[in-house]
Amino acid sequence: MTSTRTALTYCRICEPLCGLVAAVEGEPGNERLVSLRPDDEHPLSRGYACPKGLAFADVQNDPERVLQPLRRVAGGAPGEFEQVTWDEALGDIAARLRETIDTYGGTSVGQFFGNPVGFNVTAALWSGALMTALGTGHQYSVGSQDINSRYVASKLLYDSISQVPFPDLRSTDFLLVVGANPLVSRGSGVRAPRVKEHLSAITARGGRVVVLDPRRSETARAFEHVSVEPDSDAFLLASVVQVLAEEDLVAWDAVAAQSVGVETLLDAVKHFPPEATAARTGVDPATVRVLARDLAAAPRAAVYGRTGSCLGRHATLTSVLIDALALLTGNLDREGGVLLGQAVVPFEEVAEKAGRLTYDAQRSRVGDFPDVMGTWPAAIMAEEIRTPGPGQLRALFVLAGNPVLTSPDGPHLADALEELDLLVSLDLYVNETNRHADYVLPATTWLEREDVPFAIVASSPWPHVQHTTAVLAPAGEARPEWEVIDEVARRAGITLLLPAWLGTLTAPLRYAARRVGLRTTPWTLVDLLLRTGPHGDRFGLRRGGLSLRALRSLPRGRMLPPPRGGRLAEVVRHPHGKVDLAPAQLAAEWDRLRSRLEETRDPAYPLRMIGLREMRSQNSWMHNSPTLMKGRNRRHTARIHPDDAAVAGVVDGAPVRIRSAVGAIETLAHLTDEVRPGTIAVPHGWGHAAGWSTANAAGGANSNELASSRVEDVEHLAGMALLNGIPVAVEPV
């Protein structure tokens, strides 16, 4: 008879971090996950978990998971691997890394880290430590396809780059959603597992939720929808600000108390009255005026944007305008409005204080892009590999990422990856990116590792922190990423530098921290930051405060004090202590926006493609789950308005070819008026051809083959890829 036990943990696929109960069977040393179910008693998710979280059991037990180190067969094609021992793999990787460093310097080595690293504190810390030790600027991440514009906006406005202001869902009366679909994505940049309930509560108490989106998304359908042209939010929000000024709806007291530069901002928006932007935004000027008035009149209003506001040509300006609207209506840093986050394991804040979270401290060779927290845009990675000269990227680690499917112009990147001297990936699968690697090393899943959440916890109306131990022993020969990085560094003779953070602690804390001793593992760092952080035990100076030990004894974690307004002075790092509404970097950006007012569509590419997230996908990596892929509707499709389909001769359910200036893909047409005319919506992360047979069999195409990695198409302030609003044409196949 096999025994079954249950363990409490939390999901690390997306930001709600829902509480889960894992059922495990078998004898110690030979256990297997039977199922995952929602944790009814979890303080935040209270019995909620989405289909992806529950279907993670399929990933955990997937027979196609990589469970041994794989080495590319000598002279083999992409994807041709043989199993090797850890010792062989680590020995060869370390030797080749050493050789690359000795010949070309540490600046020839780099990394790309994917979305799952955001849920993996030890991997995030140790991969960063390795790059710091190498002194390289070649760091790339999903940030430039996701959220870096938000960070740069925070840098410009607050001089606090890691700050992610969030809507106070507890008590707001008016939530303006700019390009987010929380009913499907379950919320990003704001942690609220039961987000549907919280949005419904706003309308139930007489408030409103208004969604700006080119598609009548699940969230737009459930609340109020304002349909907007793709990649036009900067125009629209500039018009809203213009109306606030023109109609004297600005909360001047708040503006005076909180900001500098308002005249410059209001000067800039003079060129964008709703009548001037209507042709770009597709929104009737009367609607914009009413929106501005309602936002200003609401007792407490919040403005919230996510990926739909970040993946366009003016992403940073859009993110700036989102906060500016909150500020101008008196809703920034105020309960029921937009709140400023406070980390629990404040490694970003501490690094920022130590001057380590940089913006524009280093420029890229290709395209002259500023770094955003040490990373350059993923769009230029291929050309950084291909462009000869000092600093050429020659050895790359890919940590939990699949940029060939998730970043612009994957085929171009895939070709470039083949030119690297060394490509090493740590992943759960052979994916479309690491099939080009020299080594694919098996990583542990989140059920197989100890964890504590970091950045995400800060941006929540209900801050809560939970630690989890590993629920299962690593399957096969899988190892936690940080241990692999540590070992590669050791064998290559690289000393992992401990950040200069210690120096930022006050003297008594520094003393206490030293006394506790710092054997350098990520966990000593996490503990140090936790204990010296806002809720920490300060090494015994604060009773009841947090430490790793304290957290380990709380299986469902702990609720933290509710967030409050009035924190601006703590957050803003500008010498004048106020929000800068007119940062110098934006002057040229306003000119660029203005120059695009009259831009018209190229008749060769009359449509605009945007992305789409579905409940049963997670970017590119859960398409091998039989549970998630079940059902006739699990096919990749392009949503096209019937009018556009009629013009192009495209038929519902039939294959359609989508062309852009960069590439062409084929998928199935799904005619629906949920997209506005002129817009098509296609999910990213499909078109599989790697080590996952269910995913491969699912068909579909990689929508990012249509996206451009050309320097002139990348947003210049944060390096955002243009993934929403790509000019395309459709035709029947």
Among 133, 184, 260, 711, binds ligand MGD (CB under 6 A): 184
How many of the other CB atoms lie within 10 Å of CB of 677? 14
Q: Contact 678/687 with Cβ under 8 angstroms?
A: no
- Per CB under 6 A, the segment of 12-20, 86-94, 404-412, 649-657 that binds ligand SF4 is 12-20
What is the rounded end-to-end Cα distance, in angstroms, of the chain? Answer: 57
Residue nearer to Mo ion on the CB measure, 109 or 681: 681
The distance of Cα 8 from the centroid of its chain, to the nearest Å, equals 26
Residue nearer to ligand MGD on the CB measure, 233 or 537: 233
- Taking the complex as a whole, the smallest distance from the CB of residue 196 to ligand SF4 amounts, in Å, to 11
Give dist(CA 367, CA 464) in Å, integer: 41
Task: Give kind and range of the element (H or E) at residue 208.
Answer: strand 208-213
Give dist(CA 306, CA 297) in Å, integer: 24
- Taking the complex as a whole, the smallest distance from the CB of residue 237 to ligand MGD amounts, in Å, to 10
Q: What would the DSSP string read from start to end of 96-129?
A: HHHHHHHHH-GGGEEEEE-GGGGG-HHHHHHHHH
- Per CB under 6 A, the segment of 6-14, 213-221, 548-556, 641-649 that binds ligand SF4 is 6-14
Among 128, 165, 179, 563, binds ligand MGD (CB under 6 A): 179
Give dist(CA 233, CA 213) in Å, integer: 9
In the complex, residue closest to ligand SF4 by CB: 53
**Scanning the structure block, which residue is given the tokens 């955002």?**
720
Among 136, 148, 618, 667, binds ligand MGD (CB under 6 A): 618
- Taking the complex as a whole, the smallest distance from the CB of residue 372 to ligand MGD amounts, in Å, to 15
375 binds, among ligand MGD, ligand SF4, Mo ion, none (CB under 5 to 8 A by kind): none
The pair of structure tokens assigned to 2 is 């096999």
- If DSSP states are collapsed to H, E and C, what string results for 37-89? EECCCCCCCCCCCCHHHHHHHHHHCCCCCCCCCEEECCCCCCCCEEECCHHHH
Residue nearer to ligand MGD on the CB measure, 433 or 532: 433
- Taking the complex as a whole, the smallest distance from the CB of residue 432 to ligand MGD amounts, in Å, to 8
165 binds, among ligand SF4, Mo ion, ligand MGD, none (CB under 5 to 8 A by kind): none
- Taking the complex as a whole, the smallest distance from the CB of residue 267 to ligand MGD amounts, in Å, to 25
130 binds, among ligand SF4, Mo ion, ligand MGD, none (CB under 5 to 8 A by kind): none
Give dist(CA 722, CA 703) in Å, integer: 12
- Per CB under 6 A, the segment of 288-296, 399-407, 592-600, 709-717 that binds ligand MGD is 399-407
Q: Is position 621 an interface residue for ligand MGD (rule: CB under 6 A)?
A: yes
- The C-alpha torsion from 518 through 520 and 526 to 528, rounded to 10°, is 20
Q: Is position 180 an interface residue for ligand MGD (rule: CB under 6 A)?
A: yes
Among 146, 421, 438, 580, binds Mo ion (CB under 5 A): 146
SS3 153: helix
Q: Write phi, then psi, for 638 (nearest 5 degrees).
A: -110, 120
- Per CB under 6 A, the segment of 11-19, 88-96, 346-354, 709-717 that binds ligand SF4 is 11-19
Task: Give kind and range of the element (H or E) at residue 454.
Answer: none
Q: Which of 594, 58, 577 minimizes the C-alpha distance to 333? A: 577
Give dist(CA 460, CA 341) in Å, integer: 7
Site string for ligand MGD, 96-115 (x = CB under 6 A): ------------------xx
* DSSP letter assigned to residue 602: -
Residue nearer to Mo ion on the CB measure, 114 or 545: 114
Among 110, 274, 403, 700, binds ligand MGD (CB under 6 A): 403
Task: Give kind and range of the element (H or E) at residue 464.
Answer: strand 464-465
- Taking the complex as a whole, the smallest distance from the CB of residue 196 to ligand MGD amounts, in Å, to 13
Task: Give kind and range of the element (H or E) at residue 293.
Answer: helix 285-297
Q: Is position 428 an interface residue for ligand MGD (rule: CB under 6 A)?
A: yes
- Taking the complex as a whole, the smallest distance from the CB of residue 142 to Mo ion amounts, in Å, to 6
- Taking the complex as a whole, the smallest distance from the CB of residue 101 to Mo ion amounts, in Å, to 32
In the complex, residue closest to ligand MGD by CB: 308
Which residues, numbered 15-44, are part of the site for ligand SF4 (CB under 6 A)? 16-18
Residue nearer to Mo ion on the CB measure, 146 or 450: 146
446 binds, among ligand SF4, ligand MGD, Mo ion, none (CB under 5 to 8 A by kind): ligand MGD
Give dist(CA 674, CA 677) in Å, integer: 9
Give dist(CA 341, CA 432) in Å, integer: 36
Residue nearer to Mo ion on the CB measure, 79 or 312: 312
Among 45, 149, 160, 406, binds ligand MGD (CB under 6 A): 406
Residue 242 CB partners (closer than 8 Å, separation 6+): 266, 269, 270, 272, 273, 274
Q: Is position 453 an interface residue for ligand MGD (rule: CB under 6 A)?
A: no
Say if strands 655-659 and 726-732 run parallel, antiparallel, or are unpaired: antiparallel
Q: Is position 72 an interface residue for ligand SF4 (rule: CB under 6 A)?
A: no
- Per CB under 5 A, the segment of 142-150, 193-201, 583-591, 709-717 that binds Mo ion is 142-150
Q: What would the DSSP string read from start to end of 6-46?
A: EEEEE--SSTT--EEEEEEEEETTEEEEEEEEE-TT-TTTT
Q: Is position 683 an interface residue for ligand SF4 (rule: CB under 6 A)?
A: no
Q: Is position 129 an interface residue for ligand SF4 (rule: CB under 6 A)?
A: no
Residue nearer to ligand MGD on the CB measure, 50 or 350: 50
The pair of structure tokens assigned to 326 is 């909150």
Residue nearer to ligand MGD on the CB measure, 55 or 399: 399
Residue nearer to Mo ion on the CB measure, 607 or 723: 723
Site string for ligand MGD, 206-245 (x = CB under 6 A): ------xxxx-x----------x-xx-x------------
Q: Is 508 exposed, middle or buried (0-12, 13-18, 19+ CB in 10 A)?
A: exposed
Q: Write phi, then psi, for 150 (nearest 5 degrees).
A: -65, -45
Residue nearer to ligand SF4 on the CB measure, 17 or 117: 17
SS3 171: coil
Interhelix angle 315-328/233-246, nearest 10 degrees: 30
- Taking the complex as a whole, the smallest distance from the CB of residue 584 to ligand MGD amounts, in Å, to 26
Give dist(CA 160, CA 92) in Å, integer: 41
Give dist(CA 358, CA 347) in Å, integer: 14
Among 60, 144, 145, 468, binds ligand MGD (CB under 6 A): 145
Which residues, numbered 381-400, are part of the site for Mo ion (CB under 5 A)? none
Q: Which of 243, 166, 172 minimizes the C-alpha distance to 209? A: 172
- Taking the complex as a whole, the smallest distance from the CB of residue 8 to ligand SF4 amounts, in Å, to 14
- Taking the complex as a whole, the smallest distance from the CB of residue 282 to ligand MGD amounts, in Å, to 11
- Per CB under 6 A, the segment of 49-57, 404-412, 547-555, 705-713 that binds ligand SF4 is 49-57
- Per CB under 6 A, the segment of 556-564, 568-576, 587-595, 605-613 that binds ligand MGD is 605-613
Rounded to 5°, angle at Cα 174 from 173 and 176: 155
Q: Contact 706/411 with Cβ under 8 angstroms?
A: no
Q: Contact 339/458 with Cβ under 8 angstroms?
A: no
- If DSSP states are collapsed to H, E and C, what string results for 209-252? EEEEECECCHHHHHCEEEECCCCCHHHHHHHHHHHHHHCCCCCH
Among 313, 314, 613, 688, binds ligand MGD (CB under 6 A): 613
Binding site for ligand MGD (CB under 6 A): 14, 52, 114-116, 120, 142, 145-146, 178-182, 184-186, 188, 212-215, 217, 228, 230-231, 233, 306-309, 312, 399-403, 406, 426-429, 431, 443, 445-446, 481, 610-611, 613-615, 617-621, 684-685, 703-704, 723-725
Binding site for Mo ion (CB under 5 A): 146
Binding site for ligand SF4 (CB under 6 A): 11, 13-14, 16-18, 49-50, 52-53, 186, 193
